[in-house]
Structure 1
Amino acid sequence: MVTIKGGRVDIDVHYLQEVLQDLLRIPSPTGYTDNIVRFVCHELEKLGVSYELTRRGAIRAKLPGAKSAGARAIVSHVDTLGAQVKALKANGRLELVPIGTWSARFAEGARTTIFSENGSFRGTILPLKASGHTFADEVDTLPIGWDYVELRVDARAGCAEDVEALGIEVGDIVAVDPQPEIENGYIVSRHLDNKAGVAVMLAALQAVIVADELPVDVYWLFTIAEEVGHGAAAVLLPEIASMVAVDNGTSAPGQNSSEFGVTLSMADMSGPFDYHLTRKLYQLCLENDIRVRKDVFKHYRSDSASAIEAGADVRTALATFGVDASHGYERIHMHALRSVAELLTAYARSAVKIERDAHELGDLEGFTRQPTAPAEPEVPLSPEREPDPSDS
């Protein structure tokens, strides 16, 4: 194992991939997360890390450091997108509403599991006009939206009464199959948001355990309702001064995210991330030879937004792995997952720069500054050419 003193620790990529595959096998749409919470807790126990659970199942694990005040936190979420039964239809199929924000375009054709009081049932989400032999070109002209899809249950159900007799009811949770494939370092699957983030945290935690003593306590948080906006609203402690959220970046036209290395989000729809914490992470990438770039996300929020909105006075940043087709059939590369995990190890081991953050309140002594002086030009103007007024 290669360790840069005070910096990153090498990641066990095999463990990272194996735990990600295990996570993907466990259905966990928001509202149906008990089983994946149990899995993560058992994984923490294997690693020898102590943890505690909130009433609903958010996990707060802790690696002790030299100090408790001014603690750090790293957070990701175990819940994923999914659906819920809205109505039992007269034709024996199910009307759905989405759990989380995702397009019905990506739901069409998905294999699913419906969780009822009588047990689980398999099924397929289909457009209302699914048969080309019946509807011909109307299959292509049907609008896209949740009002235009239905769930066909793999059971004898020709009417609403048949479905009711099966034990399926309004409100039942529907999980969508991930269908993962791994090839040439690429991982293609649904729900990489954010099971990949959970795997990254567990791999980083495994690596950090064998490192030197941490400068401050580091909390490893796993939330259960980020996809519906709750996130880290109720899992922080007063001594936590800074929190790094781990989630997916948006590799798409018009974005600067990449499927390789770390992508640091400078802002999302909730506003800019903390100036000092974000720049600390960027500097750690440079110092530890971790590929990095920056991006701004316009239609995006994470665990950090819910924490700030809940009133937590905590510095926040967002470290991401670039995901192509986020909230659809997603793709990432192992290089990005490893890079983010390495950054987390460097962050956990890094020296505390803002000592004042150990106190919730104080005066100006030790308070941070942001640069205001004009930047010096990197390349001086040639003496043969004086500035032209038209250049301005």
Structure 2
Amino acid sequence: MELIDIDKEYLFGTLTSLLNIPSPAGYTDQVVHFVGQELQRLEIPFIVTRRGAIRATLSGGRETFLRAVSVHLDTLGAMVRDLKDNGRLTLSPIGTWSSRFAEGARVTIFTEKGPFRGTVLPLKASGHTFGDEVDRVPVSWNHIEVRIDHRSRSQKDLIDAGFNVGDFVSFDSTPEITPNGFLNARHLDDKAGVALVLAAVQALRKYDVAIPVPAHLLLTISEEVGVGASAVLCGDVAEMVVVDNATVAPGQNSWEFGVTIGMMDAAGPFDYHLTRKLIGLCRDNGIEYSRDVFRHYRSDSASAIEAGNDTRTALVGFGVDGSHGYERTHESSLISVAQLIGLYLQSPPTFARDKDGVSTLNGFPHQPKRDIIQIEV
């Protein structure tokens, strides 16, 4: 195995393109086409499910063992819930996030007559009009509205313009990369994961690095609403590494400058052996890493297991401060995770036995055990 060099220009160019493509869960066709075209350019074969999840395949030496790396293309967003009498829109969130982080955002509303631009505002947005009352507006989706960049002062104006309940609303990502490597943007979760996985694969291709077993790249489209990897994962995949954000916050052990290995999330522990394999790859190759436990978080691992897949799963995170809000990461975290994915794809199977869905006890692994304590009666 070799620690591959990641093309930073490719990584950030791809990420910027992804961030500028609206893709709230349920409105992901455009980003599916973009990623599909990039896979074609990299000469990686893939298939697309009915709804748009992508399963690409990297060929490897041992065809009887399959592994996967999973990322998700969908993001948070919103949907029009009501056309208001004042000519503005009420929203319901797509995904789990606070209206606190929707306030002030520039958005696109996708109507059947075409897209409109707008801004999300609290119901009392003008200090000149409401004075101190602007500071007492509750934080909830019932207390914000979309001001549309269109002449609309009534519900009839909205209807005439083509607005409907159920229109999708995407939030501008507004990416900014600072000279010292920080990246601020909405939707780093999980477009940064998509970009770094593509960068890892691009590097393997560029340096003609062979991988020992075939691997699927799974790009799911509904992770933010809880069902991402429930359908696109094949039953014969023995192990899967999910790449997603690692939440940097007080009480967490994630950080923005290396790899974070998830030990457990809200759905339960990740696979003991695959997780420690990834830790070993970091340790043996000088990749800075930390471990973390996520209490209010679930990933494509949960949807895959809940769908009935008997697959070992692990979670690798790039550090994100302010996840599902005003997100920030650092290039060193993205590059480190990309390098780890490159090493993982070069590594042998965690257990060769896992190529069979069921087998005998021969070759089944052990976890550390304590000495048996004899209790005298």
Query: So what's the TM-score if we normalise by structure 1?
Result: 0.93
Matched ranges for 1:1-392 at <5 A: 6-183=1-178, 184-209=180-205, 210-373=207-370
Instruction: State the alpha-carbon separation in 2 of the partners of residues 168 and 58 from structure 1.
Output: 28
Q: What is the SS of the residue equivalent to 1:214?
A: coil
Instruction: State the alpha-carbon separation in 2 of the partners of residues 64 and 33 from structure 1.
Output: 27
Deviation at 1:373, TM superposition (A): 3.6
Where structure 2 has 5 or more consecutive residues not aligned to the other structure, the ranges are 372-377
Instruction: State the alpha-carbon separation in 1 of the partners of residues 231 and 271 from structure 2.
Output: 20
Task: Check whether the contact 2:91–2:141 (CA below 8 A) recurs between aligned residues.
Answer: yes
Distance 1:113 1:27, change over 3 A: same
Instruction: State the alpha-carbon separation in 1 of the partners of residues 73 and 34 from structure 2.
Output: 10
Q: Deviations over 1:252-305 (max 9, x none)?
A: 111100101100010000000000000000000011111011000000001111
Tell me the matched-pair count.
Answer: 369
Q: Percent identity?
A: 57
Q: What is the SS of the residue equivalent to 1:16?
A: helix
Task: Check whether the contact 2:66–2:238 (CA below 8 A) recurs between aligned residues.
Answer: yes
Instruction: State the alpha-carbon separation in 1 of the partners of residues 299 and 305 from structure 2.
Output: 11
Instruction: State the alpha-carbon separation in 2 of the partners of residues 46 and 221 from structure 1.
Output: 17
Task: Check whether the contact 2:254–2:260 (CA below 8 A) recurs between aligned residues.
Answer: yes
Aligned AA (2:101): F
Q: What is the SS of the residue equivalent to 1:335?
A: helix
Q: Which has the larger radius of gyration?
A: 1
* Aligned residue number for residue 3 of structure 1: none
Deviation at 1:237, TM superposition (A): 1.1
Q: What is the SS of the residue equivalent to 2:150?
A: coil
Q: What is the SS of the residue equivalent to 2:39?
A: helix
Q: What is the SS of the residue equivalent to 1:156?
A: coil
Instruction: State the alpha-carbon separation in 2 of the partners of residues 58 and 69 from structure 1.
Output: 24
Where structure 1 has 5 or more consecutive residues not aligned to the other structure, the ranges are 1-5, 375-392
Deviation at 1:179, TM superposition (A): 0.8
Task: Check whether the contact 1:112–1:125 (CA below 8 A) recurs between aligned residues.
Answer: yes
Instruction: State the alpha-carbon separation in 2 of the partners of residues 13 and 249 from structure 1.
Output: 21
Task: Check whether the contact 2:108–2:118 (CA below 8 A) recurs between aligned residues.
Answer: yes
Task: Check whether the contact 1:179–1:190 (CA below 8 A) recurs between aligned residues.
Answer: yes
Deviation at 1:207, TM superposition (A): 1.3
Instruction: State the alpha-carbon separation in 1 of the partners of residues 280 and 136 from structure 2.
Output: 51
Q: Deviations over 1:48-81 (max 9, x none)?
A: 1111100111000011111222211001001000
204-213 vs 342-351, which moves further: 204-213
Instruction: State the alpha-carbon separation in 1 of the partners of residues 209 and 17 from structure 2.
Output: 29
Instruction: State the alpha-carbon separation in 2 of the partners of residues 67 and 53 from structure 1.
Output: 24
Task: Check whether the contact 1:69–1:239 (CA below 8 A) recurs between aligned residues.
Answer: no
Instruction: State the alpha-carbon separation in 1 of the partners of residues 190 and 148 from structure 2.
Output: 27
Instruction: State the alpha-carbon separation in 2 of the partners of residues 296 and 327 from structure 1.
Output: 17
Instruction: State the alpha-carbon separation in 2 of the partners of residues 354 and 27 from structure 1.
Output: 40
